[in-house]
Structure 1
Amino acid sequence: VIGTLFYLTVAALFASMAVTQEDYQQFQSPLMLMLLGGFYIGIFAPMAGGDGFLKVMAFIPIFTPIVAPIALAGGMLSTLEAVIALLFVGIILILSLYLVAPVYRVAILSYEQTKFFKRIKDNFKKAFQK
């Protein structure tokens, strides 16, 4: 649940910056590639004998919701390590909510047609200016 909320938070950030359907698809692509990366790591790392690699990937927040349960079920993570990974994702979720909420407020009503990274930079500047 915590991992899904983290993905939804990041997806909401990107979706708020999209103006057209094509923008939305373009903005969601990096998140989808990360999800696919975690999926493939979870499937192929245990078969390739990458126990250490899988264990490290289980602690990277974007991959934790997919990789940590696989590593726990495969005996590569202890229960304590899985709980630590879950708590780490929870902390990252809270931080991302505090970071994304102001940007979401600014970006959802913006209809700028600039480039992806320029739009992200401008929305962050507007959200955190004093």
Structure 2
Amino acid sequence: MIKEFREFIARGNVLDLAIGIVIGAAFGKIVTSFVNDILMPPIGLLLGKVDFSNLFINLSAGEYQTLAAAQEAGAVTINYGLFLTTLIDFLIIAFAIFLVVRQVNRFKRKEETAAIEPTTKKCPYCLSEIALEATRCSHCTSEL
């Protein structure tokens, strides 16, 4: 499954891209809310009551307790906490799209194998492949 997921991410299929855009747009807000409101608070609690929305590196002079205070003061910051949250959003959406495309590919494979009708049969005497319409085996000359 991980190998298929890696192949899915690496290939540039237009259908996959279209499905990704539609599903990403449709579920983007839901996934963002899930990550911000349900997933990240317990993770932050497990990591010592860390609020991921306030994880930042201040590149300006001065000390700021929160990201909002730093932004209000116009400080230059690297907001790695927000980046981690966005990364988790992306991985959840990408995995959901992968599952949908994987299912679509399974249905396509089943349709392709069902659509292919055999054109040959095995001779019951010598077991060689012969045409379906054949009345005599071309290999052992047995009548069928």
TM-score normalised by length of structure 1: 0.28
Choose between structure 1 and 2: higher helix proportion.
1
Ranked by relative contact order (alpha carbons within 8 Å, sequence separation 6 or more), the top structure is 1
TM-score normalised by length of structure 2: 0.26
Choose between structure 1 and 2: higher strand proportion.
2
Structure of higher CA gyration radius: 2
